[in-house]
Chains A and B, each alone.
Chain A
Amino acid sequence: QKEVEQDPGPLSVPEGAIVSLNCTYSNSAFQYFMWYRQYSRKGPELLMYTYSSGNKEDGRFTAQVDKSSKYISLFIRDSQPSDSATYLCAMTIAMDSSYKLIFGSGTRLLVRP
């Protein structure tokens, strides 16, 4: 079983729709959960990060973590064409003196005008 699973999409929605992006994971040692947005030929850009189970909201974005089910979600309200990108979930695992991110494969989102 892969450590982090993410549906690659593509996911195509009309402008204004609510988007739901999801990841599942298998490793209980993951501590922090992040969502990155990656535009074509650009580096991952941090959108949200959370630690505990529950919801965290930032503008149009809501990150949700359910540690008991090993499931995380990112919701985008009132989606815009500029939200079209690949969304990567990522989870941290502690190493001796730092941590590393384990990424999902990314979901490609297209918001149609």
Chain B
Amino acid sequence: EPEVTQTPSHQVTQMGQEVILRCVPISNHLYFYWYRQILGQKVEFLVSFYNNEISEKSEIFDDQFSVERPDGSNFTLKIRSTKLEDSAMYFCASSRLGGTGRESPLHFGNGTRLTVT
């Protein structure tokens, strides 16, 4: 069964450094998402991306964050200058369709655990 893959599985970085988290969505999916889960807390929406542009973003997704689809397969999340509170699991997800989600649920990758020291 096709799956969303994310690399690296664990990233350790120093505060103030830039990180890029990478995702390969399922190949026939058109909508891409990033979610975040701080340890012990809920999974939270960050951003959705369709047709090479951001379609929605949450209040968490400030100017330090950016997303890109640099080629036909990868989808990346960049954090420009990491803060301690950015430490979390970051999940990439994709869906075949957007709209209301009927018959097109989100499929998640296994996440990248980001540790900011």
Residues of A within 8 A of B (CB): 31-32, 34, 36, 41-46, 49, 51, 88, 90, 92, 94-106
Closest residue of A by beta carbon distance from B98 = A98
Task: Please judge, given known A-B contacts A104-B42, A105-B42, whether A99 and B100 are in contact too, CB under 8 Å.
Answer: yes
Residues of B within 8 A of A (CB): 4, 6, 31, 33, 35, 41-45, 48, 50, 55-56, 58, 91, 95, 98-102, 105-111, 113
CB distance from A61 to the nearest CB of B (A): 15
Number of A-B residue pairs having CB atoms within 8 Å of each other in the complex = 76
User: Which of B50, B106, B110 is the most central at the interface, judged by chain A CB atoms within 10 Å of its CB?
Assistant: B106
CB distance from A65 to the nearest CB of B (A): 14
The 9 A-B pairs with the shortest beta carbon distances in the complex, nearest first, are A98-B98, A43-B108, A95-B56, A100-B45, A103-B43, A92-B101, A43-B110, A98-B48, A97-B55
Task: Please judge, given known A-B contacts A97-B55, A98-B55, A103-B43, whether A32 and B91 are in contact too, CB under 8 Å.
Answer: no
- Whether the pair A98, B107 counts as a contact (CB closer than 8 A) is no
CB distance from A49 to the nearest CB of B (A): 5
- Whether the pair B45, A44 counts as a contact (CB closer than 8 A) is no
CB distance from A50 to the nearest CB of B (A): 10
- Whether the pair A98, B99 counts as a contact (CB closer than 8 A) is yes
Chain A residues, CB < 8 A from B41: 105
